[in-house]
Amino acid sequence: MVTQIQLGEITADVVFKDIKNIHLSVYPPTGKVRISAPLRMDIDKIRIFAISKLGWIKQQQKKLQEQERETPREYLDRESHYVWGKRYLLEVLEVDEAPSVELKHKKMILRVRPGADENKKQEVIDAWYREQLRKAALPLIAKWEKLMGIKVERLLIRRMKTKWGSCNPKAGNILLNTELAKKPSECLEYIVVHELSHLLEPTHNSNFIVLMDRFMPKWQFYKNKLNQLPVSHVNWIY
């Protein structure tokens, strides 16, 4: 069930769920506000909670609106693309062979069949990013499973519009945003630890903060670093 409440000039979506605690989120690119609340929570209590967080909401909205964004990719020669925080210049080669992507020196070499359009080029590069992210994430997950005493049942990778990652504690699955393959590798490790911590604590409560402080003392630094980096031009923080 979804309803809306008005907080001055700000409209907040309220979603009632089978949860114990109320959660507040502000999503890019425009700073849309979403509140997840327990099923039987009174709407007036939700409004009072939201009003108490108005300063934080406006601060987050300001950050999102000021965050640098990439220009749309056109997949042309000498266009900038990023892999693990490093910049590469695209070189497109039309060849009669299976499409592929290769990093060579400071170039990202994209091989496509003759006549491939922009959508096909994007498809090839997106698939390559997903594979790079999977290769990098699996050993990190294995490392932190041992350190945290937990088990991830399944890793999912997808291009998402509102989050760097998510977790399904009941199923034991974690989902990572393909865009992470463009960011510094330490940012990926931060998100992995964040999502694995949700297997121990599903919410962002004080216990979750204690877990993050224990496992990754510099997590706030990595969080800020990740959220200060340019994000994709598509409408899509931790």
Kindly give the parts of the chain with pLDDT less than 70.
1, 28-29, 65-71, 229-238
What are 67-119's pLDDT values in tens digits? 656 667 889 999 999 999 999 999 999 999 999 999 999 999 999 999 999 99
- The answer for residues whose C-beta is within 8 angstroms of residue 189's C-beta and 6 or more apart is 140, 216, 222
Fold classification of 80-228 is: Zincin-like (3.30.2010)
Question: What pLDDT, on the 0 to 100 scale, is given for residue 235?
Answer: 40
Amino acid at 137: A
Q: What b/e readout covers 190-210, taking b as 16+ CB neighbours within 10 angstroms?
A: bbbbbbbbbbebbebeeebee
Which residues neighbour 130 within 8 Å (Cβ) at sequence distance 6 or greater? 157, 178, 181
CB atoms inside a 10 Å sphere around CB 16: 17
Break the chain into its structural domains and give their ranges: 2-66, 80-228
User: Model-level pTM?
Assistant: 0.73
Closest by CA to 211, choosing from 166, 151, 162, 147, is: 147
Q: What phi-psi label fits residue 150: left (phi over 0), alpha (psi between -120 and 50 degrees) or beta?
A: beta
Residues 176, 191 contacting (CB under 8 angstroms)? yes
> What's the confidence (pLDDT) of residue 21?
87
Q: pLDDT tens-digit profile of 189-206?
A: 999 999 999 999 998 888
> 102 forms bridges with which residues in the sheet?
109
- The CA-based angle 153-182-148, given to 5 degrees, is 35
